[in-house]
Amino acid sequence: MRARHRRARGATALAFALATGCDPDATDEPEDEPVARVTLAVLDANSATLSLYDGLLGPVNLAGVSLALAPQKVIEQVRGGLDQALADPKCVALTTDKKTFLDLQFDRCRYRGVLVDGGLRIELTTEAGLCDGAECVVATRYTTQLDALTIGKSRVRAATSTLRIPSTPGEPRSYTAEVELTDKQDRELHLRHELAWTRKNGCVHAELGAEFTVDALAISVGAQAVEICGDQCPRAGEVQIAWGNGQALAWEYDGADEVTVRGPHGREFVLPLEC
């Protein structure tokens, strides 16, 4: 079965790959189904937020740009990206001092086909360093804060995150976040995670660690050496899920549109991937 759904893009593909690797009907273990369902909900909802940030806050070419003018160029790129990606640019109100922050108020906008409604504040800082012996911007850091933001079918009640993008191509980008959200099934979820990734030759190489809670259930997710090229299924990497009193599941990616999940006592079952 090789039908592919072209959803995953760039770094966000990792979250989708993790989420869609959890099929709540694919196991006989009593706890696997609720764990899979909530894992799917959390990672799918968080991937929507990261997708929004990844589109808004991409790399900026700051070669030859002074430290004083760098923030202005970054903000100009964000504004230009909004004009291109929104179905109606007039649906967003943008306020900025052109140096340190942007306030975005979305009024039922369609951003790359996804509904975005609510407010988002982005604090901008640049990191100074040396480039060929001269002072330059070595990285841009975005600190985002939001509340009552709807993205697709998820409602983010509150979130604080930091996205760091180095100026040198090939250096790892990093994203950390703490999020309170309500998923499409009205469950209240809390998520903390760290993601690091690089892009090379059209492929993303990523590492992820996440912890989330729903009610009294705490779940940990880890992914190592994940490689995703374009909109294809991940072709390398391993994912592990742990919860409760030592319960665990794991699987590896090999480019196929399904994975074989390994459980305790040699138990295995196959899950499809949406990618």
Residue 129 and residue 70: Cα distance in Å, rounded? Answer: 13
Q: CA end-to-end span of the chain, whole Å?
A: 13
Does the pLDDT at position 186 exceed 60?
yes
pLDDT interval class at 68 (50, 70, 90): confident
pLDDT on residue 115: 92
- Taking CA atoms, 164 is separated from 11, 15, 105, 220, in Å, by 13, 18, 23, 23
pLDDT interval class at 154 (50, 70, 90): confident
Q: For the chain, how are helix, strand and coil distributed in percent, rounded to 5? A: 20, 50, 30
Count the neighbouring beta carbons within 10 Å of the beta carbon of residue 96: 18
pLDDT on residue 37: 63
Q: Are strands 173-182 and 92-96 parallel, antiparallel or unpaired?
A: unpaired
Instruction: For residue 72, give the 3-state DSSP assignment.
Output: helix
Residue 92 and residue 105: Cα distance in Å, rounded? Answer: 5
Residue 48 and residue 150: Cα distance in Å, rounded? Answer: 10
In this structure, what are the phi and psi dihedrals at residue 205, rounded to the nearest 5 degrees? -115, 120
Does the pLDDT at position 23 exceed 80?
no
Contacts of 109 (CB under 8 A, 6+ apart): 86, 87, 88, 91, 92, 115, 116, 117
179, β-bridge pairs: 159, 191
Estimate to the nearest angstrom the gap between the alpha carbon of 252 and the chain centroid.
20
Let me know: does 137 contact 67? Beta carbons within 8 Å.
Answer: yes
Q: Are strands 247-252 and 268-272 parallel, antiparallel or unpaired?
A: unpaired
Instruction: For residue 5, give the 3-state DSSP assignment.
Output: coil
pTM for this predicted structure: 0.76
Span 230-245, average pLDDT = 86
What would the pLDDT profile of 1-19 be if each residue is shown by its tens digit? Answer: 433 333 333 333 444 334 3
Structure tokens at 202: 């059209």
